[in-house]
């Protein structure tokens, strides 16, 4: 057993885990955070995507011990005070989810993408989400939701800029 200390959705956690325990299983089975799903064996599908220090990672390919000392954010940690995070809200607004299985991973990958590229083109969104598979939506409304979330963030950043300079 290895001892790990890390922050998950803003809360300090400390546990003794098997060295081979995957981060996704730590989140799901030890912490009971089950939004991230396991959809494949080969790091291909992205249903387990979470943020590690703000960058999106596939938590099936990170060992829990590798996350020690780091900051993990899951879909459960995005919404605040009962309000959907703007990316979550955009997915709902544009019907960017159906069965929901890929959704938490898709949302986290989007948050990761927009933090690196706040104003992506449609092709950039498609390329950024290539590692997140969805069988229901044909990606159409996911792409729409991501572009809308980016636009809304740009608009509010612009508005905030106006406010600051005023």
Partner 1 sequence: MSILGTRVLRTEDPKFLTTGGVYTEDVTDDRLAGAYHVFFVRSPVAHARVNSVDVSAALDAPGVVAAFTGADLADQPVIRPAAAGLMNVEMIQRLLATDKVRFVGEPVAVVVTEHPYQGEDALELVEVDYDPLPAVLGFDPDDSSLLFEAAGTNVAGNWGDASQLKQDLFDGCEVVVSHTIVNQRLAPAPMEARAGAAVWGEDGRLTAWIPNQGAQGTRSGLAKLLGLEASQVRVITPDVGGAFGAKFGADPEHAVLGWIARRLGHPVRWAETRYENLISMTHGRAQQHTVTIGGSRDGNVAAYRLEIVQDAGAYPKIGAILPFLTILMTTGPYDIPKAEAVAKVVVTSTTPIGAYRGAGRPEATAAIERAMDLFAAEIGVDPAEVRRKNLLAPFTEPHRTAFGALYDTGDYAAALDKALAAAGYADLREEQKRRRAIGDVRQLGIGVASYVEITGMGDGDDTPPQENATVEVHPDGTATILTGTSPHGQGHATAWAMLASDELGIPVDKFTLKWGDTDLIPEGGGTGGSRSLQQGGAAVQQAAQELIEMARLRAAAQLEANAADLVFDKSRSAFAVAGDPEASVPLTQLAEDERLLVRAVFSAPGATFPFGTHVAVVEVDTETGKPTLRRVVTVDDAGVVLNPLLAEGQRHGGIAQGAAQAFVEEVVYDADGNPLTTSFADYPFLSATEVPSFELADMATPTTYNPLGAKGIGEAGSIGATPAVQNAIIDAVAHLGVRHIDLPVTSRRVWTAIQQAAAAGSGSEH
Residues binding partner 1 (CB under 8 A) = 18, 20, 28, 34-42, 44-45, 47, 75-76, 78-79, 84, 88, 91-93, 95, 97-104, 107, 122, 125-127, 129-144
Between CA 133 and CA 46 the distance in angstroms is 7
Nearer to partner 1, 99 or 159 (CB): 99
- CB of residue 46 vs partner 1: minimum separation in angstroms? 10
DSSP result, 47-111: TTEEEETTEEEETTSSBGGGGTTSEEE-GGGT-BTTBPPHHHHHHHHTT--SS-SSHHHHHHHHH
- CB of residue 141 vs partner 1: minimum separation in angstroms? 6
Among residues 104, 105, 106, 87, which one has the least CA distance to residue 150?
87
- CB of residue 28 vs partner 1: minimum separation in angstroms? 8
Nearer to partner 1, 3 or 135 (CB): 135
- CB of residue 139 vs partner 1: minimum separation in angstroms? 4
Nearer to partner 1, 121 or 161 (CB): 121
């Amino acid at each position: 057993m290895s001892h790990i200390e890390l922050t998950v959705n803003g809360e300090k956690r400390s546990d003794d885990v098997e060295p081979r325990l995957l981060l996704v299983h730590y989140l799901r089975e030890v912490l009971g955070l089950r939004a991230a799903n396991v959809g494949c064996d080969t790091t291909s599908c992205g249903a387990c995507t979470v943020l590690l220090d703000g960058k999106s990672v596939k938590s099936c390919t990170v060992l829990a011990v590798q996350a020690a000392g780091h900051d993990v954010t899951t879909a459960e940690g995005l919404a605040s005070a009962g309000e959907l995070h703007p990316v979550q809200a955009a997915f709902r607004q544009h019907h960017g989810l159906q069965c929901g299985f890929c959704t938490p991973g898709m949302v986290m990958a989007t948050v990761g993408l927009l933090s690196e590229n706040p104003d992506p083109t449609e092709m950039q969104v498609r390329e950024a989400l290539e590692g997140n598979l969805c069988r229901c939506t044909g990606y159409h409304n996911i792409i729409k939701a991501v572009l809308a979330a980016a636009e809304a963030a740009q608009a509010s950043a612009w508005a905030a800029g106006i406010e600051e300079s005023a």
